[in-house]
Amino acid sequence: MLQLNAWKPGIGPAETKVRPAVVRPSSLIELRGVTKVYGKGQAAVQALKGIDLRVNRGDFVAVMGHSGSGKSTCMNILGCLDTPTAGNYFFEGVDVGRLARDQRALLRRHYLGFVFQGFNLLQRTSALENVELPLIYRGLPVKQRKEKARQALASVGLSGWEHHTPSELSGGQMQRVAIARAIVSEPQLLLADEPTGNLDSARSKEIMELIVRLNRERRLTIVMVTHEADMAAYARRQVHFVDGQIEWVQTF
Ligand code: ADP
Ligand code: MG
């Protein structure tokens, strides 16, 4: 059951637990009839035209499709960065659309991890401090925070690199720092938008092997956007978007 204010006193309504609307124990997230329209009238763009998608706990899904097919819109909804125009998004059976804004922010902070193509690290800040950031928002004491950040960096193979800044790291290492930052708060779901888009093929392979290991060893559920078949091949399931709809799904 989702706990949406247990960590951060003073935020959100007094409700501590949000009861699931539907109980499907194995399904971590579910989209039902999700549509998204940007703009109004003649200028309206229907980015998603009724998406149904279920992702089980521990699954690894690659989202594929041409530019403009709705992949990022779908990821933004899954990441609670945007809301559907119609339809429902369930997280652990809880209808996300019914959560208060603060609760959605907590869901994002405590259950989700994000990895982007451009790494999105703070530049003049050490690897360790970058990884510590999500824990600062959680109000964890300094010592615990540093220890957890160190462990996360070790788990992505960056022991000894704690005090280097992004400018002293390679692209592959920067993406490792970003992955450490995404997993340091022990999320349930990792959302990755083209995580290897800025990397050469050797570095891409290393990052994909790391993501696969996180999926297997931690049972971290992963949804990853990619338009490269080589990268999608690491996933257990491929979901293909065409013009705002899921055209086909392939399971391996
Ligand atoms: P993808 O990530 O697959 O390239 P997007 O989800 O970014 O696709 O975009 C889907 C469609 O929605 C495109 O036609 C795009 O132009 C449009 N779109 C995306 N974001 C916005 C926005 N903020 N405002 C208006 N149109 C948007
Ligand atoms: Mg996109």
Distance 48 CA to ligand 1 centre (A): 9
Query: What is this structure's pTM?
Result: 0.90
Per-residue model confidence (pLDDT) at position 139: 82
Distance 78 CA to ligand 1 centre (A): 15
Domains in the chain, ordered, with CATH? 58-82+106-251 (3.40.50.300)
Per-residue model confidence (pLDDT) at position 11: 35
Distance 72 CA to ligand 1 centre (A): 7
Distance in angstroms (rounded) separating the CA atoms of residues 150 and 160: 9
Per-residue model confidence (pLDDT) at position 25: 59
Whose CA is closest to 108, among 152, 64, 138, 150?
138
Cβ-Cβ contacts under 8 Å for 54 (sequence gap 6 or more): 24, 27, 29, 30, 31
Cβ-Cβ contacts under 8 Å for 154 (sequence gap 6 or more): none
Pocket test for ligand 1, best of 72, 74, 83 (most atoms within 8 A of CB): 72
Using CA positions, which residue lies closest to atom 5 of ligand 1?
Answer: 70
Cβ-Cβ contacts under 8 Å for 166 (sequence gap 6 or more): 119, 121, 122, 123, 125, 127, 130, 174, 177
Tell me the sheet residues that pair with 62. 224, 238
Closest approach atom of ligand 1 to CA 241 = 3
Distance 76 CA to ligand 2 centre (A): 10
Kindly give the pairing relationship between strand 17-18 and strand 2-3: antiparallel
Distance in angstroms (rounded) separating the CA atoms of residues 155 and 205: 17
Distance in angstroms (rounded) separating the CA atoms of residues 162 and 239: 37
Tell me the sheet residues that pair with 64. 240
Q: What is the pLDDT along the chain (252 residues), one digit of tens a residue?
A: 677 764 333 333 334 456 655 555 578 999 999 999 999 999 999 999 999 999 999 999 999 999 999 999 999 999 999 999 999 999 999 999 999 998 999 999 899 999 999 999 999 999 999 999 999 888 889 999 999 999 999 999 999 999 999 999 999 999 999 999 999 999 999 999 999 999 999 999 999 999 999 999 999 999 999 989 999 999 999 999 999 999 999 998
Per-residue model confidence (pLDDT) at position 19: 60
Using CA positions, which residue lies closest to atom 18 of ligand 1?
Answer: 47
Whether ligand 1 lies within 6 angstroms of the CB of 67 is answered as yes
